[in-house]
A and B are shown apart, each in its own frame.
Chain A
Amino acid sequence: MINFENIHKTYPGAQPLHVLKGVNLHIAEGEFVSIMGASGSGKSTMLNILGILDDYDTGDYYLGGTLIKNLSETKSAEYRNHMIGFIFQSFNLIPFKNALENVALPLYYQGVSRKKRQAIAMEYLEKMGLNDWWHHFPNELSGGQKQRIAIARALIGQPKIILADEPTGALDSSTTEEVMEVLSEVNTSGITMIVVTHEQSVANKTKRIIHLKDGIIESDKLNQQ
């Protein structure tokens, strides 16, 4: 599903920062992977490249067989829309839209009619057990609820992979448990899941743990649990 071949990335500046120094990575369909590393290890950069939010300098990145390289803004927006679901640490829900509208947003950019996308969004809210909360705005919801809405939003476009950036960073431990449970359920349904985290407990819930250090993969092993 994901193929990183010798990916290099340097941030230009007065002092150029060589962040990724030749990363090779293969992730198959349906895997549940966590990427760990200290800050500055390059894990955020990797996530951005994975999510087609940022370019890389050299190497090749294949997503589902498609080469992701030198894409136009419009094209990369289209790929993000159809292939990738994002889950963020700070939820990144749009404050003036209610739960239902937030979930339905990716379908808006796919050109689905309002009525239809609201019906689909309602289904996904139901899956997250939040159908009674559809008309609430983000600031009226708890952290766990917000993240479940974000998960519903990530799923609604039926993406090939889901990228989760510190999905539990802003949550307490019991909610963390709950959210990770939801993520593994989603993974069980067959969607490739990649979680970036610095918490070992979170990484332990995944099936494969990749450690990044100074821009290269330090270790890559299956989680024996």
Chain B
Amino acid sequence: MRFFEFDTLHEILATMRESKLRTFLTGFAVSWGIFMLIILLGAGNGLKSGVMSNFGDESTNVVEMWPRETTIPYKGFKSHRKLEFTTHEMDIIKTQYPQIDKISGRIFKNPVVSYKKEYGNYNLEGVMPDFKEIKGLKIKTENGRFLNQVDIKQERKVIVLSKKVADVLFRNEKALGKWVKVDNISFQVVGIDTKTSMNEGGSCYIPQSTAQKLYNKANKTDNIILTVTGLYTKEANEKFGDQLRKTLSRALVVNPDDEEALGISNQAANYIQTMKIFSTIDVFVLFIGLCTLIAGIVGVGNIMVITVKERTREFGIKKALGATPGNILSSILLESVVITTSFGYIGMIFGIGLLELIGKVLSMSGGGSGSDGQNISIFINPSVDMGTVLLATSILIVSGLVAGYIPARKAVMIKPIEAMRAE
């Protein structure tokens, strides 16, 4: 049995032509259903990518810790003792927790950085090589390199500038290899970071060991930042945070119940929570979209029932001439699928077109006024991916089959004799 043939298509077109208005109205319902589905999914994606962009290129499994003051007296220490991290604590947690992937200390300074006549106050961080991956910094090959172990070991006076800083200090000159002054000490520029960061004014990075020496901090560090692997649930992340707190409390001789003493932020927990919200939104959006689509499918089914009724005689003739139930069934199912998919694709094209338009308008307005670098986007690049299009296509085909099935059964039941008697 040949399911698809030119004649079958020809027939379908002929019947569609015979009742243009009806076909259009039915088709419109399907188009509208798919249109709404695409728009909803696209909007969902737009919201998602908007919020995701605020996570930026940073790793999403980042844990950062910073020392504060104790609030509970403990083991002979008074409260309000100012705590400080040293590289010693870093070593402890690194050896104790194999799930820690990258780790770096952070020393924060805000010195004057200058080159020739240009100068400015910039964030300066003393960090370790792992910091690049943790924060997702981008240093292209032509822009040099990030800090490495040799820099740390030899306490070299090298510096990595973010592009923003480099552009201001060097204007049209090439910064790489040049020397800048940080509080009147010369550092050689070894890399330019081009990560576009929405809410950072531009930073400079020097080896942590150099920073410690320069600012008389011995082996101290302000913050510890690290990434973890293998923690996939919010609960696992929270548990890991608690363990870290305990270990550090012991190392710094702090009452383990003194939660104020140590600041711990776990982005993974946030991230997982956000992802959960989005998957809920996804399901919800899909549900609404499908409901809209079902209305269209019922319309198609309805119209097919009427069509079959009107064509009773024709099916009777065909059966008399030797059409098998299979022939009749497949031709009606195919007709239904052709109607749903062709009109569905029209809806899909309009939906995707609208999303593209919205995306363009958003990116134009966002790109133009984003110079303050402080706006947090919640809606960017609304779009549907190939997967969604394929999903919608299969939904259309299946819905065509569903819509066509009952009418097709009806047509198969037709008795040729009675059908041909009907005038």
Q: Is the interface of A mostly helix, strand, loop or mixed?
A: helix
A73→B324 contact, CB < 8 A: yes
Q: Contact check, B420 vs A90: say whether CB atoms are below 8 A apart.
A: yes
Inter-subunit contact A94/B317 (CB<8 Å)? yes
Question: Is the interface on chain A under 10, 10 to 19, 20 to 34, or 35 or more residues?
Answer: 20 to 34
A81 to chain B: closest residue by CB = B322
State which of B2, B11, B323 has its C-beta within 8 Å of the C-beta of A77.
Answer: B323
**Is B263's CB within 8 Å of the partner chain A?**
no
Which residues on the A side are within 8 Å of B321 (C-beta)? 80-81, 86, 105-106, 109, 153
B61-94 vs A: 1/0 string, CB under 8 Å? 0000000000000000000000000000000000
Q: Is A13 an interface residue (CB 8 A)?
A: no
Q: How distant is the Cα of A93 from the Cα of B417 in the complex, in angstroms?
A: 15
Q: What's the nearest-Cβ distance from chain B to residue A173, in Å?
A: 23
Asked if A48 meets B417 with Cβ closer than 8 Å, knowing A92-B313, A96-B11, the reply is yes
Contact with A along B4-30 (1 / 0, CB 8 A): 011100010011001000000000000
Query: A74 and B322: CB pair below 8 A?
Result: no
Interchain CA distance A102-B15 in the complex, whole Å: 16
Q: Is the CB of A80 within 8 A of B320?
A: yes
Nearest Cβ in chain B — how far from A119, in angstroms?
15
Give the distance to chain A from B408, nearest Cβ to Cβ, in Å.
14
A110 to B324 Cα, complex, angstroms? 10
In the complex, whether A78 has a CB less than 8 A from a CB of chain B is: yes
In the complex where A88-B420, A94-B314 touch, is A74 in contact with B325 (Cβ < 8 A)?
yes
User: Does B318 touch A at the CB level, under 8 Å?
Assistant: yes
Contact partners of B319 in chain A: CB under 8 A: 77, 80
* The one of A51, A82, A95, A96 that contacts B320, using a Cβ cutoff of 8 Å: A51
Interchain nearest-CB distance for A150 vs B (Å): 10
B302-332 residues with Cβ-Cβ distance < 8 A to A are 313-314, 316-327
A133 to B7 alpha-carbon distance, docked (Å) = 20
Chain A: CB-nearest residue to B327: A109
A74 touches B417 (CB 8 A): no
Shortest CB-to-CB span from A17 to chain B, Å, is: 15
In the complex, the answer to whether B324 meets A109 with C-beta atoms within 8 Å is: yes
**Contact B14–A96 (Cβ < 8 Å):** yes
Contact B322 A78 (CB under 8 A): yes
Task: Verify B325–A109 contact, CB threshold 8 A.
Answer: no
Q: A92-B317, A94-B317, A96-B15 are in contact. Are A73 and B2 (CB under 8 A)?
A: no
Name B6's closest neighbour in chain A (CB-CB).
A114
In the complex, chain B residues whose CB is within 8 Å of the CB of A94: 314, 317-318
Cβ < 8 Å to B, chain A residues 24-69: 44, 48, 51, 53-54
A101 CA / B423 CA spacing, docked (Å): 22
| Complex Cα gap A21–B20 (Å) | 50
Residues of B with C-beta under 8 A to A78: 322, 324
- Please name the residue on chain A nearest to B313 by beta carbon: A92
Residues of A within 8 A of B324 (CB): 73-74, 77-78, 109
Min Cβ gap B412→A in Å is 8
Compute how far the CA of A110 lies from the CA of B423 in the bound complex, rounded to whole angstroms: 28
Q: Any chain A CB within 8 A of the CB of B416?
A: yes
- Complex partner residue of B18 from A48, A77, A96, A110, CB under 8 angstroms: A96
Using an 8 Å CB-CB cutoff, how does the interface string of A137-175 with B read, 1 for contact, 0 for none? Answer: 000000000000000010001000000000000000000
Closest B residue to A91 by CB, please name it. B317
Smallest CB separation, B341 vs chain A (Å): 22
9 A-B interface contacts by CB (under 8 A): A53-B417, A54-B415, A80-B319, A81-B321, A82-B322, A88-B420, A106-B321, A109-B323, A114-B6
Q: Give the B-binding residues of A (Cβ under 8 A).
A: 44, 48, 51, 53-54, 73-74, 77-78, 80-82, 86, 88, 90, 92-97, 101, 105-106, 108-111, 114, 153, 157
